Amino acid sequence: MWVMVGIGVVLAVLATFIMSSDHPMSATDEPIAPTGPTHDPIPDSIPEQIPDPGTDQAPDTDPALTPESADTTPTPTSTEPQEPKTLTTRFLVAGMTFWGRYVDDWSNASDLGIEYPFSLLHTLKRDRYDAWIAGLECPTVPNLTLSSADQEATLTFNCPPKYLTEAARWFTAYTLANNHTDNQGTKGFATTKKQLTKHGIQYFGHYDPNQLEDLCGIVTIPATIGYDETELPSSAEEREVNASIPLVMCGYHGLFQIPSQESIDVVTRYKDVLPVIALPHMGAEYVAAADQIKTRTYHALIDAGADMVLGDHPHWIQPSEVYQGKLIVYSLGNFMFDQQSDRERTRSAAIDITARSTDPEAIAGWTALAETCRDQGPDVCVELAREQGLPRLTLDYTFRLVGTSDADRRAHKASASELAEIKDRLNWSRTMADLT
């Protein structure tokens, strides 16, 4: 009898021990995958951050068995909202684009079809940039048949909308301020804007410089927010947060009439609140330097408050300069066009711009307001910013030159010799020295 009681006591103790121990994972149990937000990969222009080892590993011990588990006070984590310290965006501003007339002929004859005009743009490393901005020198109206011969004879253009699906893969926004976006009349211009919106491409500017309310628009571009290292989560993916910022971009067509002081003064509406970038379209064609009227106009845009002036129209590259501490490029040249007769017409300059802010209050406020600004336009955007007391989104700029060429009919990275010619025409080394 005492033996049986002893066995019973042993069995009871053993059962208590088994019930209090961890249950080991069986061969059929699967570990729980870590949860949390996913993030886009960090672009190669941002220095890679190395995560601390073991960040995503499960703890070796069960928290239920640790003495600290008795404390039910939540532990603060680094995933709580942090104050942004820096904002960086990188974008490319290129010259005139066009897929009407002979570009359309070449594309229709190619197995690549609508991809043909864009098929070598990968040589310019689009994935390094948050946005591409260029000029669109044609309306884009559906169900309109114009032969290349007719377009050549009348210089009345149309860029078929079928190319917009491919264009949207590359371009973020177009300026419409030039002497050809009215080639299909006011209805064609309105249709062009609808077609761009349909394909997710932003636009700004007007062929008529007297249309003051249409000269400038909000262009929102992606940006990267950075935080102070001491406040960062240990995961590399969480150190950079995708955001967007609004910029004011203004297009001026000055071929048939010089932009009036009233139109130039539109820049002053926005310059105390947001960065303003002016993209004018004016001056004589096929000449290597800007005339006095063009120079005065571009200077006036800087005087009005533009952060920079990047021009086009002459179909040739023209010099750059620094005026009042700001960059002016008088003509970027043809980025994507059908003029193939010589290197003056086929080579082009594109400006690679890195913009950076270190104002935490401005970063937080303007990234929160960016999409509203895009939807409502620059005047409403400025009004909202003033109501909220936002400081100006001041950006520091770094400029790099990208040489391009559309020789052999498709835009691509320029050769070493073409790049040397482009730098020489721009006086680029002198200009960069003057900016420092």
CATH code for the domain of 92: 3.60.21
pLDDT at 210 over 90: yes
How many domains is the chain partitioned into structurally?
A: 1
What global pTM score does this model have? 0.80
Closest among 92, 90, 93 to 44, alpha carbons compared? 90
pLDDT at 417 over 50: yes
Query: Which pLDDT score is estimated for 61?
Result: 39
The average pLDDT across 3-13 equals 42
Query: Which pLDDT score is estimated for 79?
Result: 54
The average pLDDT across 156-162 equals 98
Closest among 64, 129, 140, 131 to 99, alpha carbons compared? 140
Query: Which pLDDT score is estimated for 80?
Result: 58
User: What is the spatial distance between Cα 371 and Cα 374, in angstroms, rounded to a whole number?
Assistant: 5
Mean pLDDT of all residues in the chain?
85
pLDDT at 23 over 90: no
User: What is the spatial distance between Cα 371 and Cα 220, in angstroms, rounded to a whole number?
Assistant: 7
Query: Could you report the per-residue pLDDT of 174-186, keeping only the tens digit for each?
Result: 999 999 999 999 9
Percent of the chain with pLDDT over 90: 76
- List CB contacts of 91: < 8 A, sequence separation 6 or more: 129, 130, 131, 132, 133, 172, 221, 353, 355
Query: Which pLDDT score is estimated for 290?
Result: 97
Whether 62 is covered by a domain: the verdict is no
pLDDT at 286 over 80: yes
Query: Which pLDDT score is estimated for 83?
Result: 82
Query: Which pLDDT score is estimated for 436?
Result: 86
DSSP sequence for 125-142 = -GGG-SEEEEEE-S---S
Whether 70 is covered by a domain: the verdict is no
Whether 142 is covered by a domain: the verdict is yes
The average pLDDT across 193-202 equals 98
Residue 296: count other Cβ atoms within 10 Å of its Cβ.
Answer: 11
Query: Which pLDDT score is estimated for 380?
Result: 96
pLDDT at 69 over 70: no
Query: Could you report the per-residue pLDDT of 85-132, keeping only the tens digit for each?
Result: 899 999 999 999 999 999 999 999 999 999 999 999 999 999 999 999
Whether 307 is covered by a domain: the verdict is yes
- List CB contacts of 308: < 8 A, sequence separation 6 or more: 277, 278, 326, 327, 328, 397
Query: Could you report the per-residue pLDDT of 27-54, keeping only the tens digit for each?
Result: 333 333 333 333 334 333 333 333 333 3
Whether 81 is covered by a domain: the verdict is no
Whether 337 is covered by a domain: the verdict is yes
Percent of the chain with pLDDT over 70: 78
Torsions phi, psi of 133, nearest 5?
Answer: -125, 140
Encoded tokens for 141: 């109206």
Q: Which domain holds residue 162?
A: 86-435
Whether 289 is covered by a domain: the verdict is yes
User: Which amino acid makes up residue 293?
Assistant: I
- Least reliable range by pLDDT among 45-59, 204-218, 226-240: 45-59
Contact 276, 326 (CB under 8 A): no
The average pLDDT across 379-388 equals 96
Contact 216, 266 (CB under 8 A): yes
Query: Could you report the per-residue pLDDT of 251-276, keeping only the tens digit for each?
Result: 999 999 999 999 999 999 999 999 99
Contact 355, 246 (CB under 8 A): no
The average pLDDT across 264-291 equals 97
Whether 22 is covered by a domain: the verdict is no
Query: Which pLDDT score is estimated for 242?
Result: 86
With 0-12 CB in 10 A as exposed, 13-18 as middle and 19+ as buried, what is 399? middle
Q: Quick one: pLDDT band at residue 81, thresholds 50, 70, 90? A: low
- List CB contacts of 51: < 8 A, sequence separation 6 or more: 234, 235, 236, 237
User: What is the spatial distance between Cα 229 and Cα 240, in angstroms, rounded to a whole number?
Assistant: 11
